[in-house]
Amino acid sequence: MNYRQLTFSFLLSIALASTACASGKNAEEISINQSTKNEGNTYTVASIAEFNALKLNPGDKVIFKKGIWKDQQINIKANGTQEKPIVVTVEKAGETFFTGHSNLKIDGNWLTVDGFVFKEGYSEKADVILFTKNASNSRITNSAIINYNHPDKTFDYKWLSLNGENNRVDHCEFTGKTHQGTTLVVWLAEKPNYHQIDHNYFGPRPALGVNGGETIRIGTSTWSMHDSYTLVENNIFDKCDGEMEIISIKSGHNTINNNLFYECDGTVTFRHGNNNTVSNNYILGNGKKNTGGIRVIGENHKVFGNYLQGLDGSGLRAGISLMNALEQPQLHEYWRVINPEITNNIIVDSKEAINIGSGKNTTRVLPPKGGFLQHNDIVNTRTVIKIEDQPEGTIIDNNRTDAASLPTGFVKLGTDLVKSDGIWQRKNEVKTPFWKKEKIGPVWDTAKKDF
């Protein structure tokens, strides 16, 4: 440690000791330890006043003491570096809770928040967890928001809002939202934000009964022609019934890959924006009412490698639904499906596998145009394909089904599907589903979830 660092540590120790004495604490109760690994200090704090007194530098670590933290507004405003991130964590994950009207703001670069659990309360106005516009390369992990509901179900706040750039939400849990507002929102700006949302458990959310109950929304109608480049991968969505759109994509160049949607009343929806991908997901309805698959609106979307099983929905909630559009839509309305690529999906034991021209009415008069629907397998499904409106120039061929009557563009299914881990897979592409081999949700949560 050089002279400047020694001087800083000494002065900071004096400042913290003064703060402790002012709050009735002994100086010894605030732990300040030097950490050689990150060349920063480690602080253990027992009050928000102690935390606010800190001036954090790259490599520093803050530990919130185990226990109940009620009505705390935590604002982490600091800047680490890639080599020396600042870490804010808790003494005992799973035994440290933020209750009452607590919330968290992440406002800086290269910050990591670990182990924060919000429950037994609700926010009075602000989002529960907010990444500000100044947040970049920051992360929340191993954390949770559980049943953190305002008593007025019409009260709108988001459980987590992502602004800034290159931020990550991983190994967290979000369960039981019952009031108005999307669970997790990615907000857009002039530049793409490149966020990552992975290995999270999104637990049951009951039907809200009105619009605004999405589990994830990426963008807004107003900003929908901007690109986000957000990646949503390796998450579990368990009975997320808030509204018809489980994930609502309202921007461009996003990827929804390798997630499990389990008995969710709704669909993964390309609502606005272009050039998005939904790939390699597992959508298991198990015959639950209104379970749907993937709904396509807009241009140049790719839907491939998905496994859809036991879906009850039809029309807009079919396994794969390509909607009709308005002739001159506003940003918030229905844009034409152009050049979709629908390939190598497997749809099993469902009511209606594919619907083209869904939502057709007196105003939605433009059918899908261009693109192709190829190499998809439809097994034991009541309706293989329903054409609500004839597509223009869309290639439909080399699809396979075991149906007695073969629709145009379909051939007889062979014997190249095998069942492994309860899922039908192609013989040369068998793999273990991610949730059977990876930890999803917080590390401290040992409750077994059977899927």
Q: What is the pLDDT of residues 401-423, one digit of tens each?
A: 999 999 999 999 999 999 999 99
Query: Is-contact 176 208, C-beta < 8 A?
Result: no
Structure tokens at 213: 């109950």
Percent of residues, the chain, with pLDDT higher than 70 = 92
Span 152-159, mean pLDDT?
95
How does residue 71 score in pLDDT terms, banded at 50, 70 and 90? very high
pLDDT > 50? residue 36: no
Cα 183 from Cα 54, distance rounded (Å)? 31
How does residue 247 score in pLDDT terms, banded at 50, 70 and 90? very high
Which pLDDT score is estimated for 450?
Answer: 80
pLDDT > 70? residue 18: no
DSSP string spanning 364-410? --BPPBS-EEES-EEES-SEEEEESS--BS-EEESEEE--SS--TTE
The second-level CATH assignment, the architecture, of 182-436 is 3 Solenoid (2.160)
Beta bridge partners of 103: 73
- Identify each DSSP E strand in 214-305 by its residue range: 216-219, 231-233, 236-238, 245-250, 255-257, 260-262, 267-272, 277-279, 282-284, 294-296, 302-304
Query: Is-contact 167 135, C-beta < 8 A?
Result: yes
Q: What is the pLDDT of residues 393-403, one digit of tens each?
A: 999 999 999 99
pLDDT > 60? residue 3: no
Cβ atoms within 10 Å of 56's Cβ, excluding its own: 22
Q: What is the pTM of this model?
A: 0.91
Continuous segment of H or E residues that includes residue 43:
strand 40-45
How does residue 38 score in pLDDT terms, banded at 50, 70 and 90? low
Structure tokens at 198: 């992975």
Q: What is the pLDDT of residues 260-285, one digit of tens each?
A: 999 999 999 999 999 999 999 999 99
Which pLDDT score is estimated for 125?
Answer: 84
Q: Measure Cα distances from 412 to 231, 403, 439 in Å.
A: 36, 8, 39
Q: What is the pLDDT of residues 307-359, one digit of tens each?
A: 999 999 999 999 999 999 999 999 999 999 999 999 999 999 999 999 999 99
Across the chain, mean pLDDT equals 92
237 closest CA partner among 248, 224, 252:
248
